[in-house]
């Protein structure tokens, strides 16, 4: 029996290792390509390990492209959008979870229904609204739609419903107002889902290509995904430079996840248990 169990465990490990290797294979190809010279890019057979390591693609990213400016734009837009999303979503979730008002369930159902509509469909009316408000070609035009994040509201509401009402009622009895209860009680007790949402939204906003491409027309305001897309020319594509820029653009996401992984994993586990 033990021998059979050991063989089964070995088989599971082999399958998991194979799937893991397949999943990271594109990432290894990115690293290999970024370290190749232009002449070695299309060599046959493919050089998974470059014969000659070249840092020319990374040098070009920082010297010949407006990479630093795009990095600053992406950082500002991503951090601002993520912060606004967490604040607006947590406020809405707090109201939906702990307060009773007319048509609450109907309104929340409509919120959930809007999740089924992709951004490609709602993009046109949102763009028209932003145009009438003179917010196109501005950072605010990119950030404005992040005020409404239905998934974040849904996730936080499900978590806040499990916060005991005794804490909130006691705070109100002691003279606390709505904002004090929200800031000093609800937010600290919701740090796990908030951190999870921070990581998820940071990655989504950082990698967003569709919306900044539509809203921003000034090259000085372009974000990293838009800048990297410019390397795909009509006739030729500098794959080594594209891969080098993509690797560098991954660093902020890795840093954020490294600092928040404790709460992120706890939030995923807690959500799975519930």
Same domain, 129 and 251: yes
**Same domain for 202 and 258?**
yes
Three-state secondary-structure class, residue 236:
coil
> What mean pLDDT comes out for the span 52-76?
86
Residue 23 has pLDDT above 80, yes or no: yes
pLDDT at 162: 86
Residue 235: predicted pLDDT: 45
Are 8 and 107 in the same domain? no
Residue the block writes with tokens 């080594």: 240
Domain that holds residue 181: 61-273
Q: What is the band of 273 on the pLDDT scale with cuts at 50, 70, 90?
A: very low
Phi, psi angles (nearest 5°) of residue 232: -85, 90
67-88: average pLDDT: 93
> 109 and 78 in one domain?
yes
Task: Assess whether 140 and 47 both reside in one domain.
Answer: no
Q: According to the model, what pLDDT value does residue 140 have? A: 92
Out of 81-90, 92-101, 109-118, 218-227, least confident range: 109-118
Asked if residue 152 lies in contact with residue 87, where contact means CB atoms within 8 angstroms, the answer is no
In which band, very low, low, confident or very high, does the pLDDT at 142 lie, cut at 50, 70 and 90?
very high
Residue with more model confidence, 39 or 28: 28
pLDDT at 233: 61
87 lies in the same domain as 200: yes
Q: What is the CATH number of the domain that holds 144?
A: 1.10.3720.10
Count: domains in the chain: 2
Render the burial of 120-155: b for 16+ CB within 10 Å, e for the rest. Answer: eeeeeebbeebeeeebbebbebbbbbbebbbbbbbb
271: pLDDT confidence band, cut at 50, 70 and 90? very low
Do 3 and 114 fall within a single domain?
no
Mean pLDDT of the chain: 83
- 209, 199, 202: which is closest to 76 by C-alpha? 202
Among 116-120, 121-125, 139-143, 190-194, whose mean pLDDT is lowest? 116-120
Q: 72 vs 264, which has greater pLDDT?
A: 72
- Phi, psi of 150, rounded to the nearest 5 degrees: -65, -40
What gap in Å lies between CA 250 and CA 24, rounded to an integer?
Answer: 14
The encoded tokens of residue 217 equal: 């027309």
Dihedral of CA atoms 160, 164, 165, 168 in degrees, nearest 10, equals -80
Examine the domain organization and report whether 7 and 142 are in the same domain: no
**What tens digit of pLDDT does each residue of 37-47 get?**
766 566 666 66
Asked whether residue 74 carries a pLDDT value surpassing 90, the answer given is: yes
Residues 243, 137 share a domain: yes
41 and 99 in a single domain? The answer is no
In the structure, what pLDDT confidence band is assigned to residue 248 with cuts at 50, 70 and 90? Answer: confident
Co-location of 50 and 92 in the same domain: no
25 and 48 part of one domain = yes
Pairwise CA distance, residues 36 & 55, whole Å = 8
Q: What is the pLDDT, as a whole number, of residue 40? A: 59
Under DSSP, the state recorded for 234 is S
Q: What percent of the chain has pLDDT over 70?
A: 86
């Amino acid at each position: 029996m033990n021998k059979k169990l050991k063989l089964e465990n070995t088989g599971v490990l082999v399958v998991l290792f194979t799937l893991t290797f397949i999943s990271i294979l594109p990432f290894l190809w990115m690293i290999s390509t970024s370290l190749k010279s232009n002449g070695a890019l299309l060599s046959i057979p493919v050089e998974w390990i470059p014969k000659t390591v070249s840092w020319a693609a990374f040098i070009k990213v920082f010297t010949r492209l407006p990479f630093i400016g795009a990095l600053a734009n992406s950082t500002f837009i991503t951090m601002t959008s993520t912060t606004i999303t967490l604040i607006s979503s947590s406020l809405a979730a707090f109201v939906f979870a702990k307060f009773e008002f007319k048509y609450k369930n109907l309104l929340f159902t409509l919120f959930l229904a809007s999740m089924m509509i992709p951004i490609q469909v709602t993009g046109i009316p949102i763009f028209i609204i932003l145009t009438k408000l003179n917010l196109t070609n501005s950072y605010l035009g990119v950030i404005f739609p992040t005020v409404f994040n239905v998934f974040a509201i849904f996730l936080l509401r499900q978590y806040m419903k499990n916060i005991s009402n005794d804490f909130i009622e006691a705070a109100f009895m002691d003279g606390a107002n709505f904002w004090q209860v929200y800031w000093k009680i609800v937010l600290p007790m919701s740090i796990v889902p908030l951190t999870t949402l921070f990581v998820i939204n940071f990655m989504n906003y950082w990698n967003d290509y569709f919306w900044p491409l539509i809203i921003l027309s000034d090259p000085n305001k372009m974000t990293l995904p838009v800048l990297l897309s410019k390397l795909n020319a009509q006739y030729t594509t500098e794959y080594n430079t594209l891969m080098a820029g993509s690797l560098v653009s991954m660093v902020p996401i890795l840093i954020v996840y490294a600092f928040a992984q404790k709460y992120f994993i706890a939030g995923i586990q807690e959500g799975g248990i519930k």
